Structure 1
């Protein structure tokens, strides 16, 4: 219901931004918690779709990636390597009860939920990290708003009817346009180096977010469900709320790093 969405947003957004502002262990623990909720939803979707997965590696991966940010990079990389070795050994131990497709579906979940979510922590650890995370959120919120209103008032040509029948090309481009507007309003009100690059990045990040939205819709459609869960009143589940962010955050992080802006 609309009022539930509004109340949840009014209460949830300031709390989320406050946690991002605090950063450090507070953000890491919250992202770990959100990741585990997302892992839980992913597991349910997979089972409803008729697929099997390796439960212990899935949950272990859900914890590992965000918590690995607490360690130095070489130690974190080593822990991640050990995790993947464990996944393969676990699969071999459970063979033939488990199949290669079970391992693949499990690793997809770890990468799709845990690895991507972790980039919000990595972004926060960069210089001006709070503003970079806020930039990602504003791009996603602007894109969603622009896509919705332009789709409602001008939408005619279907964008991805087999995945999300309500999406249109007009909504798609409206989302890109609003993302640039959102980025412009942000950089007009903050003072950080190279802020103009955020304006150029906005439509690219918006595109990644819209692809992330479609990807989550595709796996839900395979499982014949509307929402990943009902954890967030009026918004569905964690994956429903953060589906775009899961793709937008990593792309933003790597673009920033490649530009040497750390």
Structure 2
């Protein structure tokens, strides 16, 4: 099986799983994001292992779950927002645990531990809130995250194919030699095309708002991809992992989501609603 065939097969499976979990309701959607979060965190910590600096994987996983579940409970009105205060003792306990861990570089380990939560968990917390932003607040709207996923996939797929077939001018040669301006333009065109199609069925956002959302996703998703490429280049590796044949690791597949999720969240709150 060729690399393109593996990529297509794995991508199709991911689309089915993600769209099914998103469509089935808030609990399956949250379970999906928790799985993405934990797998991405463990992959991140594996990549950034430093001799003499030990990351607190269990502490980070617990902190991530508290952040995501307490936020989910608050926005769905299942629990009080006061449960989010549990983040304080959990985060502090990570520092306390470092006092009893005999390592040469404790603060490097702490820095990497919290960096993973900041760049992976917090963006996913933003994305977890997106289905509940439309009125009435607290109601789950499948179309919001599904539309965002479709725009992300349209951009990623078209950028990959356009860059492969038409790419001539590097977008950011120092960081990602294979990413081209032609690919970026192709990804933007595909995202805008999908936005036009979604506008025929999507009543929560106007066509103009969908177009702005598409541009936001393309720009921030591209920078998210470049930041991941910067990480891999600094570590001199090709892929962040092997869990997804043809795509690499979790960070390889969800870098665009992590880069764009906070901006999608901010846009929907500040501009659309």
Deviates most, 89-98 or 159-168 = 89-98
Cα 1:48–1:213 change in 2 (3 A) is: farther
* Pairing 1:210–2:210 present: no
Cα distance in 2 between the residues matched to 1:258 and 1:56: 35
Q: What SS does the aligned partner of 1:25 have?
A: helix
After superposition, the C-alpha distances for 1:201-256 in whole angstroms (9 at most, x for unaligned) are 21122111001111111112222222221112222221111110112122111211
Cα 1:171–1:9 change in 2 (3 A) is: closer
Cα 1:154–1:7 change in 2 (3 A) is: closer
Deviates most, 90-99 or 72-81 = 90-99
Cα distance in 2 between the residues matched to 1:71 and 1:42: 27
Residue in structure 2 matched with residue 230 of structure 1 by the alignment = 242
Residue in structure 1 matched with residue 68 of structure 2 by the alignment = 66
Q: CA deviation at 1:38?
A: 0.7
- Preserved contact between residue 49 and residue 222 of structure 1 (Cα < 8 Å): no
* Pairing 1:141–2:145 present: no
Q: CA deviation at 1:35?
A: 1.1
Deviates most, 84-93 or 252-261 = 84-93
Matches for 1:122-201 after TM superposition, within 5 Å = 122-127=129-134, 129-201=141-213
Note the residue ranges of structure 2 that are not aligned, 5 or more in a row. Answer: 75-79, 135-139
Q: 1:77 aligns with which of 75, 84, 89?
A: 84
Q: 2:96 aligns with which of 89, 93, 96?
A: 89
Q: CA deviation at 1:91?
A: 3.8
Residue in structure 2 matched with residue 11 of structure 1 by the alignment = 13
Q: What SS does the aligned partner of 1:71 have?
A: helix
Structural RMSD (CA): 2.5
Note the residue ranges of structure 1 that are not aligned, 5 or more in a row. Answer: none
Deviates most, 165-174 or 210-219 = 165-174
Q: 1:39 aligns with which of 38, 41, 60?
A: 41
After superposition, the C-alpha distances for 1:152-210 in whole angstroms (9 at most, x for unaligned) are 34422222222211112232233223222221221123333435312122112211100
- Preserved contact between residue 54 and residue 103 of structure 2 (Cα < 8 Å): no
Q: CA deviation at 1:260?
A: 5.8
Cα distance in 1 between the residues matched to 2:54 and 2:104: 10
* TM-score normalised per structure 2: 0.84
- Preserved contact between residue 66 and residue 84 of structure 2 (Cα < 8 Å): no
Deviates most, 49-58 or 213-222 = 49-58
- Preserved contact between residue 45 and residue 112 of structure 2 (Cα < 8 Å): no
